Amino acid sequence: MSSYKIAVIRGDGIGPEIVGAAIEVLNKAASMCGISLEYREYLAGGCAIDSCGIPLPIETLEGCKASDAVLLGAVGGPKWDNVEPSRRPERALLGLRSGLGLFSNLRPAIMFRELSSASPLKDPGDVDILIVRELTGGMYFGENGSYESSDILSDGTVKGEVAFDTESYSEGEIRRIVKQAFELAMGRNKKLTLVDKANVLRTSRLWRSVANEIRRDYPEVSLDFLYVDNCTMQLISRPSSFDVIVTSNMFGDIISDEAGEITGSIGMLPSASLGAPGTPGLFEPIHGSAPDIAGTGKANPLATILSAAMMLRWSLGERAAADLIESAVRKAISAGYRTPDIMGNGSGEIHVDTRAMTDAVILMMNK
Ligand code: IPM
Ligand code: MG
């Protein structure tokens, strides 16, 4: 029997509830597919600040490194809004990404047909976009700092404090993520869009030249380039024409929220952060910790359940178990089960809380 070690980080807000739900579903899939999963719990984010004074304790990073995969709920909340920037809960995420070398972030934005009325777009069509976001480079991890300047601006104002964050990318960093995006496009509709700002940024021009080199190895994939500002418009006007998008850390952060919103099901969207083969991947829902509904039973567990399925597929290579979970989620949606975030007009819907949605998915795994 294959056996895997899973590092579990429940985190803050609704994190503990949705991770609990995903573990129940994972256990059911594991028993049906003859896999053994061993969980170890670690602290990160606000709860780690409260108990150890820092967002990412060393035991957490070490524990994650020693596991086969990491399942994470969400971190952060208003309680820690005034914490010094270098100790904010979000630093835990950045520390995990860089500490585990998770350079590739897969964010599928998929429209569930039954939920299309929740999309803010009138006629979105069949949206199924895979955003491949670079995750350990660019402005998030570039040189940054601040200094005082007494220079005078053209209107006579003193410049004062100057702050800077640097966008920098090496060919190697670009090559590994773009290559992965081509590979992923090969397994889908063979359309890849590189989103950048090459009319202004040198880093973007380097992305383009590396992509133009790599495309020779993938003659079947059609590659096109889109400026990020234009991309935000095209995502609204023709979302169903995108297949795979590859982009930098900063642009990927922004457009993945937009793409998620277009599907109308932000509470449904999972993500995978992957590194070199053999490194544990990190799997988390793309929504946040939603502290306003924590403990109320209103949280939609499906994004975390689908993240657990991605974990089975991408880190553990357990395709059958992943398929089982994904199809159970689809069946639960088709059968009408709806948490508050995805409720529509009510007809044919079964309104449920976190607990009942989890039970519905487990039930559908037997069907
Ligand atoms: C995300 C989040 C994070 C990011 C924050 C919380 C640091 O917005 O995962 O998209 O900017 O990467
Ligand atoms: Mg974001």
Q: How many CB atoms lie within 10 A of CB 132?
A: 26
Give the contacts of 218 (CB within 8 A, at least 6 positions apart): 182, 185, 186
> Which sign does the torsion angle of CA 66, 279, 313, 298 carry?
positive
Residue nearest to ligand 1 atom 7, measured at CA:
90
Is 8 close to ligand 1, i.e. is its CB under 6 Å away?
no
Backbone angles phi, psi at 85, to 5 degrees: -50, -40
Give the pLDDT of residue 59. Answer: 98
Residue 197 annotated among the catalytic residues of the structure: yes
What is the whole-number distance in angstroms between the Cα of residue 287 and the centre of ligand 2? 9
Residue 292 annotated among the catalytic residues of the structure: no
Helices (runs of H) and strands (runs of E) counted in the chain? 11, 14
Instruction: List the chain residues with pLDDT less than 50.
Output: none
Give the pLDDT of residue 225. Answer: 98
Sequence ranges of the chain with CATH classification 3.40.718.10: 1-101+279-367, 107-141+170-268
Give the pLDDT of residue 229. Answer: 98
Give the pLDDT of residue 215. Answer: 98
Q: Which two tokens stand for residue 138?
A: 């660019």
> What residues pair up with 165 in beta bridges, in sequence order?
144
Give the pLDDT of residue 344. Answer: 83
Length of the chain in terms of residues written: 367
Give pLDDT tens digits for 42-61.
999 999 999 999 999 999 99
Give the pLDDT of residue 296. Answer: 97
Give the pLDDT of residue 306. Answer: 98
**Active-site residue, selected from the candidate residues 140, 196, 337, 341:** 140
Residue 151 annotated among the catalytic residues of the structure: no
Is 93 close to ligand 1, i.e. is its CB under 6 Å away?
yes
Amino acid at position 116, single letter? S
What is the whole-number distance in angstroms between the Cα of residue 175 and the centre of ligand 2? 23
Pick the CATH number of 1-101+279-367 from 3.40.718.10, 3.20.20.70, 1.25.40.320, 3.90.1330.10: 3.40.718.10
**Active-site residue, selected from the candidate residues 4, 197, 243, 341:** 197
Give the pLDDT of residue 263. Answer: 92
Which CATH number does 107-141+170-268 carry? 3.40.718.10
Residue 257 annotated among the catalytic residues of the structure: yes
DSSP notation for 200-268: T-HHHHHHHHHHHHHGGG-TTSEEEEEEHHHHHHHHHH-GGG--EEEE-HHHHHHHHHHHHHHHT-GGG
Give the pLDDT of residue 14. Answer: 98
Is 253 close to ligand 1, i.e. is its CB under 6 Å away?
yes
Give pLDDT tens digits for 135-174.
999 999 999 999 999 999 999 999 999 999 999 999 999 9
